[in-house]
Copies of this chain bind each other. A is one copy, B any other.
Amino acid sequence: MLSGNRPIGVFDSGVGGLTVVQKIVRLLPAERVVYFGDTARVPYGTKSPDAVRTFAAEDTAFLLRFDPSMIVIACHTVSSLAAGYLARKFPTVSFLDVVTPSAEKALSVTRTGRIGVIGTPATIASGAYQKILCADGRNIRVTAKACPLFVPLAEEGWYDHRVAREIACIYLRELRRKKIDTLILGCTHYPLLKKVIRHAAGPGVRLVDASEEVAAKVKDMLAAAGVPAGTRPSPPRIFFSDVHPHVQATVVRFLGGRKTVVRRVSLERPPAAERGERSCIG
């Protein structure tokens, strides 16, 4: 049930989902946002479907301590493997996943119907994108490719490095051969590598980064449920299961300039959201 003045909950396996927070905060500056990144267990994209579902349920349970109006699953791996599971396990929670808006955007912009999807091994193996894209009856041909080195490359900061260009060319060779006209960036880290991905995909290929669509959809869902606009703007509250310099640097990069409170929490501790260790950034 959606209702006013409750925060919007957002979670991801790590820091990547902060790109979604950034877009929500820009579009809905009066809404409160609570974010959880499971940096102690990141990445999810190389783990089993069972592990991803277990982690996703724990992440959700953590956010529920804040009584959120809705929860955004800002992780393509969780969205692909666990969205249905979460909806069944938490039937009173309004979830928004990132796979559906990405697929809808791709379907709305493709002219040839040849759509590429790149993501983590778990996301691609799940077949979630392939299923949604082919469900609307149009003549859609999907080429999907797991790109396991993209997350570590982005983490290393080699956004426009010649090694990143070479790896992108190897991963995207098949998609280029299939003459896709639209490419879904099916992982929140991938927009950081947009430049090398765009180059490897070839000219004229439209890249779909769904974070703006997700923010727009959050706005629509709140409006559709008759939720009054937030009246108590406050900086996003950011929780991680592990905090180290790289995590802090990423928070500054994504939410820089805003005053942000970052806390470390343990999912195994009793529910006391305020107990986490605290460090201030910004």
Interface, chain A (partner B; CB < 8 A): 39-41, 46-48, 50-51, 148-149, 151-153, 155-156, 162-163, 166-167, 170, 241-244, 246, 268
Q: Considering the chains assembled together, what is the distance between the CA atoms of A46 and B152 in angstroms? A: 10
Contact across chains for A156 and B148 when beta carbons are under 8 A apart: yes
Contact across chains for A163 and B152 when beta carbons are under 8 A apart: no
Contact across chains for B46 and A40 when beta carbons are under 8 A apart: no
Partner of A163, one of B47, B167, B243, B268: B167
Copies of this chain held together in the complex: 2
> Which 3 residue pairs of A and B lie closest in terms of their CB atoms, listed nearest first?
A48-B244, A152-B152, A51-B242
Partner of A155, one of B46, B48, B153: B46
| Chain B residues with CB under 8 A of A153 | 149
Which B residue's beta carbon lies closest to that of A148?
B156
Partner of A149, one of B39, B152, B268: B152
Contact across chains for A244 and B149 when beta carbons are under 8 A apart: no
Contact across chains for A163 and B170 when beta carbons are under 8 A apart: yes
Smallest CB–CB gap between A13 and chain B, Å? 11
Query: Given contacts A40-B41, A163-B166, A163-B167, is CB(A47)–CB(B268) below 8 Å?
Result: no
Q: Considering the chains assembled together, what is the distance between the CA atoms of A156 and B47 in angstroms? A: 14
Contact across chains for A51 and B40 when beta carbons are under 8 A apart: yes
Contact across chains for A46 and B246 when beta carbons are under 8 A apart: yes
Contact across chains for B47 and A244 when beta carbons are under 8 A apart: yes
| Chain B residues with CB under 8 A of A167 | 163
| Chain B residues with CB under 8 A of A246 | 46
